[in-house]
């Protein structure tokens, strides 16, 4: 069992690893991220289309569902931002995932940092090595009540919400294609989630509820680190304090939802102007970065201050 899975199993919490960095504690023989060559080497069947989708034999229906989500997101941002994101997706079982020899354990959605962008999604959540789903009996009664009232299953709702994280992985690539600079790791994560939020709100209203439940569960995780400075200095927290990383991701979602209600997709257009790739200093301090973000949408500095004030002493 990977160390972070062991930690999660002991705590009874889920992990959120989307777009996470890699730890030097892993074997140096492994690859940091998937490559198109390694996916092709599996010789899997694939679905043709704007998002070519490879899949482990036996999981065509799941591959089609994920492919359709990504095709719709890709089309949405072609229309809204005029960008075309070249993306290949592989939907793999645990054995094939391991064959790629990457650092990420099975079921951690991920995408390569540079083109050709290659994203991975698990074919079967039941095989995950993340120790993820929190026990319903130990979770917030309010969240359990919401899921019950919706007539949905606890684990089904959680995994449907986790499935949307492929839209976050798409967002990492989309932000780069759109030419938006990301001076800090936390801004990269925030932007990726913002791409997901805008798309789900405008085109996949059926996924708003499971996505909200998923991120709300992440808000309950232990979080000894809460400041954006902590996020940068301890990055990637997913390797050392996975539940704390999940908490940060939920806070990026929470802020993203508020910004979306104020500005919608226009926020991304403004970010492209305010933070042009190649012309934005990557040495910005967090206070300077937050002030620039306040120019785009007021409230980022106040939000960052609120994060720091919620430190969990445990």
Is residue 32 within 8 A of residue 22, CB to CB? The reply is yes
Element (H, E) at 289: helix 286-296
Give the residue-averaged pLDDT of 93-97: 97
The answer to whether residue 152 is domain-embedded is yes
**pLDDT at res. 134:** 75
Using CA atoms, how far residue 15 sits from 6, 7, 128, 133, in Å, is 11, 10, 11, 8
The answer to whether residue 109 is domain-embedded is yes
- Cis check for the bond before 236: say yes or no (omega within 30 of 0): yes
Report the percentage of the chain scoring pLDDT > 90. Answer: 75
Quote the pTM value: 0.90
- CA 44-50-51 angle, 5° bins: 45
Q: How many domains does the chain have?
A: 1
More confident residue, 203 or 33: 203
Q: Which of 21-35, 142-156, 168-182, 267-281 has the lowest mean pLDDT?
A: 21-35
Nearest Cα to 121, choosing from 186, 34, 211? 34
Q: Which range of residues forms the domain containing residue 139? A: 3-9+18-309
The answer to whether residue 314 is domain-embedded is no
User: Is the predicted pLDDT of residue 6 greater than 60, yes or no?
Assistant: no
**pLDDT at res. 308:** 87
User: Is the predicted pLDDT of residue 307 greater than 60, yes or no?
Assistant: yes
> Residue 223 belongs to a domain with what CATH number?
1.10.390.10
Measured CA to CA, the distance from residue 121 to residue 169 in angstroms comes to 10
The answer to whether residue 232 is domain-embedded is yes
Helix axes 165-177, 60-81, angle to 10 degrees: 40
More confident residue, 11 or 259: 259
**pLDDT at res. 8:** 39
The answer to whether residue 218 is domain-embedded is yes
Report the percentage of the chain scoring pLDDT > 70. Answer: 88
**pLDDT at res. 27:** 41
User: Is the predicted pLDDT of residue 220 greater than 90, yes or no?
Assistant: no
Q: Which of 181-195, 217-231, 276-290 has the lowest mean pLDDT?
A: 217-231
Count CB neighbours of 118 within 10 A.
25
Give the residue-averaged pLDDT of 279-283: 94
The answer to whether residue 149 is domain-embedded is yes
Tell me the average pLDDT of the chain.
89
Alpha helices for 119-263 (secondary structure H): 141-149, 154-163, 165-177, 185-203, 208-218, 228-233, 237-240, 242-263
**pLDDT at res. 314:** 55
Give the residue-averaged pLDDT of 199-221: 95
- Model confidence band, residue 21 (pLDDT cutoffs 50, 70, 90): very low
Which residues partner with 120 through β-bridges? 90, 110
Tell me the two tokens of residue 262: 């104020």
- Model confidence band, residue 96 (pLDDT cutoffs 50, 70, 90): very high
Q: What's the N-to-C CA distance of the chain in angstroms?
A: 24
User: Is the predicted pLDDT of residue 76 greater than 50, yes or no?
Assistant: yes
The answer to whether residue 166 is domain-embedded is yes
Measured CA to CA, the distance from residue 289 to residue 183 in angstroms comes to 8
User: Is the predicted pLDDT of residue 17 greater than 50, yes or no?
Assistant: no
Give the residue-averaged pLDDT of 42-68: 97
User: Is the predicted pLDDT of residue 187 greater than 60, yes or no?
Assistant: yes
Rg (CA), the chain: 18
Is residue 53 within 8 A of residue 89, CB to CB? The reply is yes
Give the residue-averaged pLDDT of 206-233: 94
Nearest Cα to 16, choosing from 97, 114, 131? 131
The answer to whether residue 207 is domain-embedded is yes
Q: Which of 77-81, 98-102, 233-237, 302-306 has the lowest mean pLDDT?
A: 233-237
User: Is the predicted pLDDT of residue 3 greater than 80, yes or no?
Assistant: no
């Amino acid at each position: 069992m990977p160390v972070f899975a062991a930690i999660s199993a002991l705590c009874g919490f889920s992990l959120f690893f989307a777009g996470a960095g890699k730890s030097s504690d892993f074997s140096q023989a492994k690859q940091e991220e998937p490559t198109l060559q390694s996916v092709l080497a599996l010789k899997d069947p694939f679905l043709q289309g704007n998002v070519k989708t490879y899949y482990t034999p036996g999981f065509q229906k799941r591959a089609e569902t994920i492919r359709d989500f990504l095709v719709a997101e890709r089309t949405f941002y072609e229309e809204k931002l005029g960008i075309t994101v070249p993306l290949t997706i592989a939907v793999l079982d645990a054995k094939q995932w391991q064959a790629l020899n990457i650092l990420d354990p099975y079921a951690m959605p991920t995408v390569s940092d540079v083109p050709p962008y290659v994203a991975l999604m698990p074919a079967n959540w039941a095989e995950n090595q993340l120790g993820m789903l929190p026990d319903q009996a130990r979770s917030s009664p309010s969240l359990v009540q919401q899921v019950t009232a919706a007539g949905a299953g606890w684990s089904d709702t959680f995994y449907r919400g986790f499935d949307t994280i492929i839209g976050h992985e798409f967002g990492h690539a989309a932000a780069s294609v759109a030419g938006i600079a990301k001076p800090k790791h936390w801004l990269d994560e925030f932007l990726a989630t913002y791409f997901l939020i805008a798309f789900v709100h405008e085109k996949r209203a059926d996924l708003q509820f499971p996505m909200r439940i998923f991120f709300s569960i992440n808000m309950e995780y232990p979080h000894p680190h809460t400041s954006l400075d902590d996020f940068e200095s301890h990055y990637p927290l997913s390797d050392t304090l996975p539940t704390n990383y999940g908490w940060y991701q939920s806070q990026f979602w929470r802020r993203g939802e508020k910004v979306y209600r104020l500005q919608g997709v226009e926020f991304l257009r403004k970010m492209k102007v305010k933070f042009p790739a190649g012309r934005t200093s990557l040495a910005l301090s967090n206070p300077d970065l937050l002030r620039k973000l306040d120019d785009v949408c007021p409230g980022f500095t106040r939000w960052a201050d609120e994060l720091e004030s919620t430190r969990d002493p445990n």
